[in-house]
Amino acid sequence: MNLSPKSLEKLRLLINEDTEYRSGPQLVRLFNNLGFNDTYGQGFPSRWAYTDGKLEHINGTPQLDRCIKEVFSPVNFIERLDDLDVYIAEFNKYIAFDKWKIIRNGAEINFQRLDKIEVKESSKPNHATTENQFLSREFSNISVQKIGLEGMVSEVIEGRIKEIEKCYSSDAYLAVIIIAGSTLEGLLLGLANQYPRQFNTAKSSPKDKSGKVYEISKWSLSSFIDVAYELGLVQQDIQRFSHTLRDFRNYIHPYQQMSSGFNPREHTAKICLHVLKAAIQEISENISKIKM
């Protein structure tokens, strides 16, 4: 299958963000299973640049077909097959212009070559929140105090939010990204320390090779985000965009920023600030779920 740049761009989004969030190591494993021999470490490019490069390399080869089948594999969507059908329908809108169509037949994913370009609207609604929809959300009177963190943590986090807003209005976008990421991590760490049983028993809690859950102090921001989603503290769009914030925050290391060519913009900083505010609002509304 040979796809146009527009279709490959959509496929990259499906791989990196939409069907599930895939971290750098997860992307390396995905493409290594297709015949590559990459390693993840210092100097690794941005996830988007890495995936774009790999898709361009395998475009028009059997590896691209295998990649698509892996992304849409029904086993990854147990109890979420409606979501899978939505993702397939959305992708079909793009590859229709390449005269291709994906068909799910039960647990099988097949490709159909089209004689002509077919342009049809999907009968299923797309429930995934777009970036613009996420950024259009408004937050008023968000309160860390409602979450009920112990000690002075709430006051520190509220002070940081004010500082982040000052940085944003002063065009200090890198500062916004770094402080927002560390603040979100501090918020989730505070929750985990307050509700250790709920966090430690979550299926997505990080574990060593023997299956033992790591000490909470050793958890990564990625793990905190996934467990918060599993516990119902945040919705899926917050989980997805929180991982985006986590990726950006990694550029706290100058060499990582230099090697990737990352240059923070207003739009990037706005996403990160929105993620933090949205997470605080949703957690304050859902905290009763883990108090039970």
d(CA 174, CA 160): 15
How open is the CA angle 166-168-172, to the nearest 5 degrees? 100
Tens digit of each residue's pLDDT, the chain (292 residues): 999 999 999 999 899 888 888 888 999 999 999 999 999 987 788 888 899 999 999 999 999 999 999 999 999 888 788 889 989 998 999 999 999 999 999 899 999 999 888 776 544 444 445 666 767 777 667 888 889 888 788 889 989 999 999 999 999 988 998 898 889 989 999 999 999 999 999 988 888 878 889 899 888 887 888 899 889 998 877 777 776 676 666 656 665 556 556 667 788 888 888 889 988 999 998 898 886 5
pTM: 0.56
Going by C-alpha positions, the residue among 170, 142, 183 that lies closest to residue 277 is 142
For helices 47-58 and 62-71, the axis angle rounded to 10 degrees is 130
**Per-residue model confidence (pLDDT) at position 254:** 67
Please give the biggest Cα pair distance in the chain. Answer: 66
**Per-residue model confidence (pLDDT) at position 124:** 46
**Per-residue model confidence (pLDDT) at position 152:** 84
Q: CB-based burial of residue 112 (10 Å sphere; 0-12 exposed, 13-18 middle, 19+ buried)?
A: exposed
Asked if 144 and 235 count as a contact pair (C-beta separation under 8 A), the reply is no
* 3 state SS of 36: coil
d(CA 11, CA 54): 11
Going by C-alpha positions, the residue among 32, 71, 75 that lies closest to residue 54 is 32
Asked if 241 and 134 count as a contact pair (C-beta separation under 8 A), the reply is yes
